[in-house]
Every structure is written in C-alpha cells, then in structure tokens.
Amino acid sequence: MKDIVVFTGSAHPALAEEICNHLGLKLSPAHLSRFSNDCLQAQLLVNVRQRDVYIVQPLVPPTQDNLFELLLMINAARGASAAQITAVIPHYSYARSDKKDAPRISLGGRMVADMIQTAGADRVLTMSLHAPQVQGFFTVPVDQLTALGVLAEHYRGRDLSNSVVVSPDLGNAKNASQFARLLGVPVAAGSKRRLNDDTVVIDSIVGDVEGRDAIILDDEIATGGSIMELLARLRDYACRHVSVACTHGLFAGHAVERLRGSEVLDEVVTTDTVPRPDGWPELEVISVAGLFAEAIDRIHNGRSVSKMFRGVDPAYAPPDALFADALF
C-alpha cells in the first residue's frame, strides 16, 4: 500500500477517513482555499510523483463547489506527475442529467464526465449511477459498485414471508428485482409520472402488495416526493409495515421532516455515500467504506473489481453462468 495516496475534498471527509482505515493508510493532507474573488485553489501536501492517487469526493451540495474542488485536486495531481489518478465519486449527482428530454436542454452528465477527464483523471470509481448509460459518457475506465448486497444484509434474519420489494417507478425495477432475489421475496413497481423536481404522481402499483410488508428500494432519495407518494398508494393497499432502503440518502429540502412525520413508515435505511443529515438520529446508515477500500485495493493490484459482486448482481456473473440462466 506504500504507493497508494488518498486525498479528500470538503464533501465527505469522514467517508475518506474510513476508507483509509480499511486500507491501513493515513489520509493524506490537502489544502483547499478560496481567494477574495471567490476562486478556489487546491494544493496537495504530500509527494505524489509516480504514485497511485485516489481522490474521494461525492458530488453533494454545495455541488458546484465540491465538483470544482475535485477538478482542481485532479489537476494538481496530474501536474505533480502522479502515475495514475482515480476520481472516487461515491455519488455522481449529475447522472440524473443523462438525456435530452426537452428542447435545447443541457446534458450535464456528459459535460461533467468530460470535465473530469480533461482535468486529468485516468479512472473513475463510483456507486449506483442513476442511469446505466452514464458509464458510457466517460472514455476512461469506470468501475461502478453496488450497495444492494450490504442493504440486503440489513434485512436478512427477519421474517420476510409476507414481504415484497417495491420500486417507486419502472425505471428502477431491475435493481428492485435483483434486491428481491437476494431476499427471496416478490417484487412490485409503481407507475410514476414526474411533474417537476419535487412533485410526482404514482397512478398504480404493478404487482401484489395488498396487505403485505413493503420494502421500498430506490437508488436515491432527494426531496422524498416519490417516496411520500408511494407511501400514500401503499396505505391504500393496506400495507402493514413499510421500510425504505436507498443507496444515496441526500434528504434535501423538507425530506427529513416529511419522512420522519410519516405514520406509515417504520424505518429508513441508507448508506454513507453522502454525509448523514442533521436531526435524524433514528436513521439507519450502513457504511460502504469497506467496498470502496476493497475496490481501491483491487484496482491498485490489477485485480477484477467485478468479482466483488458475484452472487449479488447477475450483470457480474461469468458468461457461462449467464448462458446457464438463459437455458434453465
């Protein structure tokens, strides 16, 4: 591990520290400053010449500042002759801007990918991109981790005989199906229409949820609008107990107040890809630092990252296993 150097910006230093603890490393210092004209500057305070550099920085609010910190730190490492630079972005928020779904609209997911590569990143390590096609926005290698396995472990050992996994929309149904397979329960999905950033309508639920215990799975919770709408539909179906699990718990705006005030919701489970919100002590936060540490170790030593998820995600199964599944 002597050739690995790990830095972090301002976005989530606690996660970077925990990743380093798993690797048996000390987090290397960096100095981030802001000039009187509001320009940011980054300086790496240890030698990185011909070393393997990892910069941990999720794109969370203030997103633009954290993004530019990441770009400056990548640029500093490239200028200091680092052998390889990996941008470790646990939450890539611009993944939501992945298509032109309106006239003359920007494609932020692709533009930010171009910026990260132009700054000098050789590789990107991330988790649960909102849309699979975002991986194709990069021309450098992208390793995408999944939290489905660690989230499933939270529910194992419970009586799930009357449970069903519910996706808020059909777009997330594939992940929900994988999660349901890990738990050995059926799956259902809402038929969702988004009216604006904070307002959605779920007209119906596809699948049998009547009188069941529901486990809602989503990749990201921002304002909580989709979850609150789905909770209302599940109440119509007389669901007895409802749990929510997500990878990226942003809980922006009034999300904490909304979810804590729900009479239907029993628990919310998330991971630490983003900082924990204030004022929600009962929120269950599961660490993914171990997953990122193992991925960094595998990248550094030239080993497969996909093997970490054999048995968790069918996409990572070997070709002969996929062929066997198709036959049987």
pLDDT tens sequence across 198-252: 667 777 888 999 999 999 999 999 999 889 989 989 999 999 899 999 999 999 9
Residues 200 and 137 in one domain: no
Residues 138 and 155 in one domain: no
Average pLDDT over residues 265-288: 96
Residues 8 and 138 in one domain: yes
Catalytic entry in 2, 100, 192, 307: 192
Give the pLDDT score at 326. Answer: 41
Q: Within a domain: residue 50? A: yes
Residues 248 and 173 in one domain: yes
Confidence of residue 173 (pLDDT cuts 50, 70, 90): confident
- What strands lie across the sheet with 163-167, from one edge to the other? 199-206, 187-196, 163-167, 213-221, 242-249, 265-271, 284-286
Give the pLDDT score at 98. Answer: 84
Give the pLDDT score at 96. Answer: 85
Q: Residue 154 is part of a domain; what is its CATH number?
A: 3.40.50.2020
Average pLDDT over residues 46-63: 97
Give the pLDDT score at 325. Answer: 43
Residues 116 and 172 in one domain: no
pLDDT over 70 (residue 127): yes
Residues 301 and 270 in one domain: no
Residues 10 and 136 in one domain: yes
Q: Within a domain: residue 177? A: yes
Residues 141 and 76 in one domain: yes
Residues 117 and 178 in one domain: no
Q: Give the CB-side neighbour count of residue 77, counting CA atoms within 13 A.
A: 33
Residue 54 DSSP symbol: E
19 contacts 273 by C-beta, under 8 angstroms: no
Residues 160 and 194 in one domain: yes
Active-site annotation holds for 99: no
Q: Within a domain: residue 328? A: no
Which one, of 206, 220, 159, lies nearest residue 184 by Cα?
159
Give the pLDDT score at 204. Answer: 83
Q: Within a domain: residue 327? A: no
Q: Within a domain: residue 213? A: yes
Q: Domain total for the chain?
A: 2
Q: Within a domain: residue 325? A: no
Residues 55 and 74 in one domain: yes
Give the pLDDT score at 319. Answer: 52
Domain hosting residue 133, numbered range: 4-146+289-309
Sign of the Cα pseudo-torsion (145, 148, 152, 154, in order): positive
The mean pLDDT of the chain is 91
Give the pLDDT score at 314. Answer: 66
Q: How far apart are CA 45 and CA 280, in angstroms?
A: 36
pLDDT over 70 (residue 327): no
Give the pLDDT score at 324. Answer: 44
Q: Within a domain: residue 326? A: no
Report the share of the chain in percent with pLDDT over 70. Answer: 93
Which one, of 307, 288, 206, lies nearest residue 247 by Cα?
288
Give the pLDDT score at 1. Answer: 56
> Per the structure block, which two tokens stand in for 90?
């646990």
Q: Within a domain: residue 321? A: no
Residues 154 and 282 in one domain: yes
